[in-house]
Amino acid sequence: MPYDHRNTARRALALALAATGCCAVLTGCGASQASPSSGKAQETQRAQETQQAQGAESRPPLASAAPTPTRSPLPAAGGNGSLAGRTVVIDPGHNSGNFRHSTEINQKVDIGTTRKECDTTGTSTDAGYTEASFTLDVSHRLRDLLTARGAKVVLTHDADRPWGPCIDERARIGNAARADAVVSVHADGSAVGHRGFHVILPARVRGGSADTAAIVGPSRALGERIADRFARATGTSPANYLAGGTGLDVRDDLGGLNLSTVPKVFVECGNMRDPKDARLLTSSAWRQKAAQGIADGIATYLEG
Residues classed as catalytic: 268
Residue 23 to residue 277: CA distance in whole angstroms: 59
Residue 151 to residue 76: CA distance in whole angstroms: 10
CB 142 within 8 A of CB 120: no
Full DSSP string of 56-120: HHHS-GGGGGPPPPP--PPPPS--SSTTTT-EEEEEE-S-GGGGG-HHHHHSEEE-SSSEEES--
State how far the alpha carbon of 289 is from the alpha carbons of 12, 54, 142, 235, in Å: 65, 31, 10, 9
Residue 249 to residue 260: CA distance in whole angstroms: 17
- Residues facing 188 on adjacent strands: 271
On the 0-12 / 13-18 / 19+ scale of CB atoms within 10 A, 87 is buried
Residue 103 to residue 118: CA distance in whole angstroms: 10
Contacts (Cβ under 8 Å, ≥6 apart) of 227: 197, 198, 199, 238, 247, 248, 297
